[in-house]
Amino acid sequence: MMNDIDYLVLNSFSQQQNGIKAFSCNPALLMNEKKSSLAFFSERKFNLLDFSLNTMSFSKAFSNGNIGLAVKHAGNLGYQENQLGVYYSKKISENLDIGLGFFYLSGRASSFVNSFAVSTNIGSVIHLSPKVIVGFSVFNPINYCAVERIKQRIGNKDIIGIGYNATNNFFLGLTIIKEENHPLYFVSGIQYKMNKKAHFDLGIISKSGSIYVGIGYYLKKIQIKCSFSSHPQLGLSPGLLLSSIE
């Protein structure tokens, strides 16, 4: 299963941020979209082309629920992974949103057997107050095994996210992530709006001890964000986000 960029997931719990939400981590976050959004994000992990991750996300709001589509690609000619996900969210009550996602994951390596799998993720978002939201999501609650000629399984992944909008300009977030057979880790960060067009992100990812920084700017209905995460041993991972809002 291809992971989302941790700090983009964190910012998705902000009720003030106007950019597209990382709904592939929690489908219920789709309900924060009021119109249509389209986003492209690219990150070069450790500044190595072979470790690049490229994603495209689209969401559309409807009266009876919102839908989203996410496509991801990572790797090179020697080994690559692709993921296609379809997501739906619905408001159950004034304070509760739920969501469901289905995704298809394929992997291809030179001279090896190609693999594929189909799985799901479910999520919920609780609006505790106008300033605080809490989200819960589970990846692969039912283990699927759809791998050509090789018995493999996709590991479970649980995410708890908390977002606190202290003011219209200041957001504080925390996500706690537990992947199967891996230690629990957290991502914590802040977002500060310098004005209506520009904002600044800063945070830490405990799994690697990485620090991330992001600077975003709005040009009418288009958001441009440059991000950098720094690993203590492996160096910088630059990223670029482009998103448009109807």
Task: Write down all domains in the chain, each with its CATH number in brackets.
Answer: 6-245 (2.40.160.60)
Q: pLDDT tier at 207 (50, 70, 90 boundaries)?
A: confident
Q: Residues 26-35, buried b or exposed e (16+ Cβ, 10 A)?
A: bbbbbbbbee
Reported confidence tier of residue 149, pLDDT bands at 50, 70, 90:
very low
Half-sphere exposure of 13 (CA within 13 A, CB side): 35
Average pLDDT over residues 49-67: 87
Q: Whole-model pTM?
A: 0.84
In contact, 236 and 228? CB cutoff 8 Å: yes
Reading the block at residue 188, the tokens are: 């914590």
* Kind and range of the H or E run holding 80: strand 79-93
Most confident segment among 9-23, 97-111, 166-180: 166-180
Q: Which helix (H) or strand (E) holds 101?
A: strand 96-109
CB–CB of 131/60 below 8 Å?
Answer: no
CB atoms inside a 10 Å sphere around CB 23: 32
Token code pair at residue 145: 């095994």
Query: What are the residues facing 99 on neighbouring strands?
Result: 89, 123
Q: What is the mean pLDDT of residues 189-211?
A: 88
Residue 126: pLDDT over 90: yes
What DSSP state is assigned to residue 41?
Answer: E
The pLDDT score that the predictor gives to residue 91 is 93
d(CA 53, CA 45): 7
Percentage of the chain modeled with pLDDT above 70: 86
Give the mean model confidence (pLDDT) for residues 215-229.
87
What number is the average pLDDT over the span 217-222? Answer: 86
Encoded amino acid at 125, one letter: V
How far is Cα 50 from Cα 55, in angstroms, rounded to an integer?
15
Once rounded to an integer, what is the mean pLDDT over residues 218-229? 87
pLDDT at 101: 92
Average of pLDDT values for 208-228?
A: 87
pLDDT of residue 112: 67
Tokens 């030179």 belong to: 110
